[in-house]
Structure 1
Amino acid sequence: MQVSVESTSALERRLTIGVPAERIESEVTKRLQQTARRAKVPGFRPGKVPMSVIRQRYEDSARQEALGDLIQSSFYEAIVAEKLNPAGAPSVEPKVFEKGKDLEYVATFEIYPEIQVAGFEGITVERPQAEVSEADVDNMLDILRKQNTRFEAVERAAENGDQLNIDFVGKIEGEAFAGGSAKGTALVLGSGRMIPGFEDALVGAKAGEERVITPTFPEDYQNLELAGKTAEFTVTVNAVAAPVLPELNEQFFALFGASEGGLEGFRAEVRKNMERELRQAIKSKVKNQVMEGLLAANTVELPKALVANEVQRLRVQAVQQFGGNIKPEQLPAELFEEQAKRRVSLGLIIAEVVKQAELKPDDARVRELIEEMASAYQEPEQVVAWYYKNEQQLGEVRSVVLEEQVVDTVLQKAKVTDKPVSYEEAVKPAAAPGAAE
């Protein structure tokens, strides 16, 4: 087999591969012999069909099949021999594809870039330092109570925080518009669910009252036909209900699966969950800074095939997340290109750090991470067992641990400073750089 390599760009390679005619004919004959053993031809017993008849009937299809397989196998042999690492499927262009002649074709493809990750010493990381205080637990209990607020009917005028049951009909310049009317809608005043001015105009209303209000749609409203226009809504208030926070009692604790230990036991469970959230938030913020530092310190030439594959993955994710009757391919590639480049760059850099540092997933850390995730469930032992029986899920955890080990490797040389912050500041999500990972 003859192979020549041409570099057409930094990452693109052009292989010209020649396969001897003898090898082709040998593969064709092998397939025809296999066909002869099972072919059913009228006038002949199975397995007794003359080879001349077999060739006449099946040689063309056998040759096409043999050529397809030989292109695949010879391409693999060539990249192994030339020590090339393709980053995507090759584009194959036949040059000589005739019976009795050597097969010759050109395969064009991109290779993975050669990377030597560096610059760890120039990466700066600000690591949040925080603890869960009793006041933080008190605040969390208040949040949990508000999330489980119930509403009871009252006879007074509506106040902010009350829930109204309303019917409304909206018009613009005397004409009703799509989505501008509803019946029996529950609306909490001050929730910001409706356009500016709508909820404020209902403060002070009583059950049975009808009000005509004239709020204006924002200039940047998603429906451009309504943006910036003033509407007239006729609103009928059917009922007014005041919020009632639940008591911190056994019934409330049971909503969260805490049936023992009373208030102190519930506080301890809440604190444990908050501490787990705090650890994860700090770990995430440190990781994000490390990844940004690696990207800033290392410029990577990106194979177009890898970026295109990542763009397609992001398209599929967008369709799954937002729904709609569209195909991923209908979403413009430009929407995802920068995010795709960032992901591919990080993936290549992380893989190189793993290679340079000879990292492997630490089994003890894998176990520790699985146990921490399982601790949020009522039967943690069953969750741990499930992970270890599910190879795909276990593989994902190992990947997470391996990334954590990459972060640790960088932190050993990076400039790290600890910054004391409150619990709330520590768990507050950081603004995603570029696009969310």
Structure 2
Amino acid sequence: MATAVETLGKLERRITISFPLTDVRTEVEKRLKVQARTAKAPGFRPGKVPLKMVAAQYGYQIESEVLNDKVGRAFNDAANENNLRVAGFPNIVPKEEAAEGQLAFDATFEVYPEVAIGDLTAVEIETVQADVSEAEIDKTIDILRKQRVHFHTKGEAGEHGDGGEPIAANGDRVTVDFVGSIDGVEFPGGKAEGYAFVLGEGRMLPEFEAATLGLKVGEAKTFPLSFPEDYHGKDVAGKTASFTITLQKLEWAHLPEVDAEFAKSLGVADGDLAKMREDIKVNLQREVAGRVKARNKEAVMDALIKVAELEVPKTLIAQDSERLAEMTRQDMAQRGMNVKDVPFPAELFAEKAERRVRLGLILSQLVGDNNLQATPEQVKAQIEDFAQSYEDPREVLKYYYSDRRRLGEIEALVLEENVVTYVLGLSKVTTKAVAFDELMGSNAQA
């Protein structure tokens, strides 16, 4: 039996549920008899253990199971009878006062909110677009060349030349010994032998690189170096040290020529440079399309948050905060970080969780009201699009269709795209061209 629904807040509700104690005892005795059929105890054959001994061993566990079952069933029945859409899980506690022969519990919970979405035709959304030009292709080729760089001793003639005058310059790889001291005392981490780095990449502090420039192999130089106040080494941060460096090895960087061999190294079997450029262009366009889609989806989601009115259930925020905390822990562990004793307070993720839950409720309302569910054809098309960048597209299809959870992730992605298309079709859209570098440097996330 359940009492009438009490309204405690905008979304918070309470129901008192009760049932006869005899119902619990009857069900407990019934389950104990079932348990007795297979129960084991020293000195007794299986199934011949006295019921009192079975009750002593299993009674508490079975009674807890019966109570959980009955309370859960009674709550679900009450929620259904009152047409309540329960958000999250109820908090159920025993009532101190109950009628004689009765067990009573208070179930406090939240319900899903009403979602009021404003006039989408009045919403202004700025989307972005970007193009892939020949300059971007050239820049990508330069990056690919640098990834395949190899070094030769500077000043020694070889297949690719001698690299010029044998003095350290930007772009060269130098190998140095160094030792640093503060007030005449060496400090931890201030000494190394055979340390290699490429000049001009910014791996070392500016004073260190400046002192290395112009050196020849075997030459040494002593110079002052001021550590920044925010330097990661707290013992030396903000202090000035005296360093002595000795250049032990000097190599110049040889970038591979853009020729047939280079094209083959990128997977173009016949070494055709025009095909190589076309492949690079297609890949860049795919990457640009993905970034543009992410930026535009984010703009739509921001607009929906502004135009929709709703209360967000605290229960759902708490649940999603915990989920995000656990996802972060797992991600860091997979990256090889030791997170065993690292705390991940769920409240740190509350703001992000609130946005995620809010958007989920808004999208659910839009999808239901406007029939924007993902169709099987859309899901298949999305998976096939993913598969294009893999060597064996059939394996990608198999990967998703063999797991309902993975398929659900694709369905959710398509559903979001349906919502984006729907909203952009109604709202006032302006489009801004963005530079390729700006787009690729952004980290837009939906």
Secondary structure (helix, strand or coil) at the match of 1:38 reads: coil
What does 1:217-232 correspond to in 2, within 5 Å? Answer: 217-232=227-242
Paired residues of 1:96 and 1:102 also in contact (CA < 8 A): no
Paired residues of 2:260 and 2:271 also in contact (CA < 8 A): no
Secondary structure (helix, strand or coil) at the match of 1:90 reads: strand
> Larger deviation: 235-244 or 381-390?
381-390
What corresponds to 1:399 in structure 2? 412
What does 1:267-282 correspond to in 2, within 5 Å? Answer: 267-282=277-292
Give CA deviations for 1:178-203 in whole Å, capped at 9, x if unaligned. Answer: 33333322211111112232212211
Q: Which runs of at least 4 in structure 1 moved beyond 4 Å after TM superposition?
A: 40-61, 96-100
What corresponds to 1:75 in structure 2? 75
Q: Which segments of 5 or more consecutive residues in structure 1 lack a partner in the other structure?
A: none
Give CA deviations for 1:89-133 in whole Å, capped at 9, x if unaligned. Answer: 322211259998211011222233221223423432233334333
Q: Taking structure 1 as reference, are residues 64 and 421 closer, same or farther at Cα in structure 2, changes over 3 Å only?
A: closer
Give CA deviations for 1:22-63 in whole Å, capped at 9, x if unaligned. Answer: 432332232133134334578877657776776677655543
> Larger deviation: 280-289 or 333-342?
333-342
Q: Taking structure 1 as reference, are residues 408 and 161 closer, same or farther at Cα in structure 2, changes over 3 Å only?
A: same
What corresponds to 1:117 in structure 2? 117
CA distance in 2, matches of 1:164, 1:47: 80
Secondary structure (helix, strand or coil) at the match of 1:336 reads: helix
Secondary structure (helix, strand or coil) at the match of 1:132 reads: coil
What corresponds to 1:134 in structure 2? 134
What corresponds to 1:371 in structure 2? 384
What does 1:226-245 correspond to in 2, within 5 Å? Answer: 226-245=236-255
What corresponds to 1:23 in structure 2? 23
Secondary structure (helix, strand or coil) at the match of 1:231 reads: strand
Secondary structure (helix, strand or coil) at the match of 1:199 reads: helix
What corresponds to 2:370 in structure 1? 357
RMSD: 3.0
Alignment partner of 2:318 out of 303, 308, 313: 308
Q: Taking structure 1 as reference, are residues 216 and 119 closer, same or farther at Cα in structure 2, changes over 3 Å only?
A: farther
CA distance in 1, matches of 2:85, 2:341: 29
> Larger deviation: 345-354 or 172-181?
172-181
Q: Taking structure 1 as reference, are residues 426 and 58 closer, same or farther at Cα in structure 2, changes over 3 Å only?
A: closer
CA distance in 1, matches of 2:341, 2:365: 31
Paired residues of 1:96 and 1:103 also in contact (CA < 8 A): no
What corresponds to 2:426 in structure 1? 413
CA distance in 2, matches of 1:262, 1:280: 27
Paired residues of 2:220 and 2:247 also in contact (CA < 8 A): yes
How many residues of Structure 1 are paired with residues of Structure 2 in the alignment?
433
Secondary structure (helix, strand or coil) at the match of 1:215 reads: strand
Q: Taking structure 1 as reference, are residues 391 and 65 closer, same or farther at Cα in structure 2, changes over 3 Å only?
A: closer
Alpha-carbon distance, 1:350 to partner: 2.0
CA distance in 1, matches of 2:47, 2:346: 55
Which residue identity lines up with residue 169 of structure 1 in the other structure?
V
CA distance in 1, matches of 2:89, 2:22: 27
Which residue identity lines up with residue 322 of structure 2 in the other structure?
Q
Tell whether 2:190 aligns with 1:177: no
Which residue identity lines up with residue 293 of structure 2 in the other structure?
K
Q: Taking structure 1 as reference, are residues 343 and 231 closer, same or farther at Cα in structure 2, changes over 3 Å only?
A: farther
Which residue identity lines up with residue 409 of structure 1 in the other structure?
Y
What corresponds to 2:106 in structure 1? 106
TM-score, reference length from structure 2: 0.86
Secondary structure (helix, strand or coil) at the match of 1:4 reads: coil
Paired residues of 2:116 and 2:309 also in contact (CA < 8 A): no
CA distance in 1, matches of 2:402, 2:353: 32
Tell whether 2:201 aligns with 1:188: no
CA distance in 1, matches of 2:404, 2:53: 51
Tell whether 2:340 aligns with 1:330: no
Q: Which segments of 5 or more consecutive residues in structure 2 lack a partner in the other structure?
A: 156-165
Alpha-carbon distance, 1:283 to partner: 1.0
What corresponds to 2:397 in structure 1? 384
Paired residues of 1:291 and 1:346 also in contact (CA < 8 A): yes
> Larger deviation: 410-419 or 286-295?
410-419
Which residue identity lines up with residue 379 of structure 1 in the other structure?
D
CA distance in 1, matches of 2:337, 2:178: 28
CA distance in 2, matches of 1:406, 1:204: 60
Paired residues of 1:165 and 1:184 also in contact (CA < 8 A): yes
Q: Taking structure 1 as reference, are residues 269 and 55 closer, same or farther at Cα in structure 2, changes over 3 Å only?
A: closer
Alpha-carbon distance, 1:293 to partner: 0.9
Paired residues of 1:19 and 1:104 also in contact (CA < 8 A): yes
> Among the aligned pairs, what percent are the same residue?
40
TM-score, reference length from structure 1: 0.88
CA distance in 2, matches of 1:63, 1:381: 52
CA distance in 2, matches of 1:192, 1:85: 57
Tell whether 2:218 aligns with 1:208: yes
